[in-house]
Chain A
């Protein structure tokens, strides 16, 4: 996928990565003219941060790069591209590929190393994808259960708080009555 960046601007993209899954990201600035080098204004700073804030990759003033790491926790990982300010402001596009989990597996290598034929590789890929889908479905079910619990607790909380409101109203009204009665009796009006 391609992002557009301006000098001095930044774009941040996040993706959810599961614990212990490998993730591979490659980025490079698109060169509209193949023959000449990119001008000095076309430079990037890239950071990849984990959900807790640890930095997994950091690059300053580069034109392209790659990062590979294994996720140490499940959550939203954020990749930020920052284009350093330059006068006059330049606009350029960055090609970015980010794959994690099953997609990050290097199938060509696996096939070569295992000496298995094309058909088997394809079927293994299908098996991996099906496993991922199954896992995601479990996650969805888990999330739905959490939401059901939350809704149930919200329901009971609303009932309890409405009761509290009623109790507060009645007690405040009776306190008022008692206070005014004693006050007016004291002042010999009642």
Chain B
């Protein structure tokens, strides 16, 4: 019994709680699924709209995200958010679906992160004598660190978005000033041309 318990514990602990931080380009709709193997786990999910495909249009409307459980029921719904974070406890084990919908006419780049927190499962094994209080504390620490990583990923994605906004703003400032100068010079040339024509015509008529 003890050997089996040790192997089970090793199996749980050595499976790294991976967060999958990915970026993808969405056209109209894009769906992802993630398998939750244990009930009682906490599922953390976050997304940030990084940028729009076009240079001049900036997406303020955001995208929609709908989370569906294994039997199709709706777990949570985000409407028109640029950046959001949510966590919930897994009630039923199975495949959870995350579906994004893009309402704007441009392609959007979205940064998406999902993390499963396993710690709740450890409570069952705390009764086992091999699972010392020390291991339990270490597992809690591990879970806390993974949560920090998850939050940091979200922060990083939001910073990326801000950086892109700033760069666009800088470019726009330069373009605006140059365009303004050229428009001004063009308008005054037009003015001169029209005034000369007016006076020449007037002169022509009065001389005759």
Please give the residue numbers on chain A whose beta carbons come within 8 Å of chain B beta carbons, in ascending order.
1-4, 11-16, 76, 93, 97-99, 103, 107-108, 118-119, 121-123, 125-126, 129-130, 132-133, 136-137, 139-140, 143-144, 146-147, 150-151, 153-154, 157-158, 161-162, 164-165, 168-169, 172-173, 175-176, 179-180, 183-184, 187, 189
Contact = CB atoms under 8 A, between A and B. Distances in A.
B199 A140 contact: no
Contacts of B126: none
Contact of B142 (A11, A103, A118, A126): A126
B166 A172 contact: no
Main secondary structure on A side of the interface with B: helix
B35 interface: yes
Secondary structure of the B contact surface, majority rule: helix
Given A169-B184, A172-B188, A183-B199, A103 B35 contact: no
Contacts of B191: 176
Q: Which 7 A-B pairs have the closest CB atoms?
A: A161-B177, A2-B33, A154-B170, A172-B188, A14-B23, A168-B181, A129-B145
Contact of A154 (B32, B34, B169): B169
Contacts, number: 139
B173 interface: yes
Choose among B33, B114, B174 the residue with the greatest number of A CB atoms under 10 Å from its CB: B33
B166 A143 contact: no
Contacts of B139: 122
Given A99-B16, A119-B134, A147 B25 contact: no
B120 interface: no
A33 B43 CA distance: 28
A126 B31 contact: no
Contacts of B58: none
A157 B173 contact: yes
A12 B181 CA distance: 43
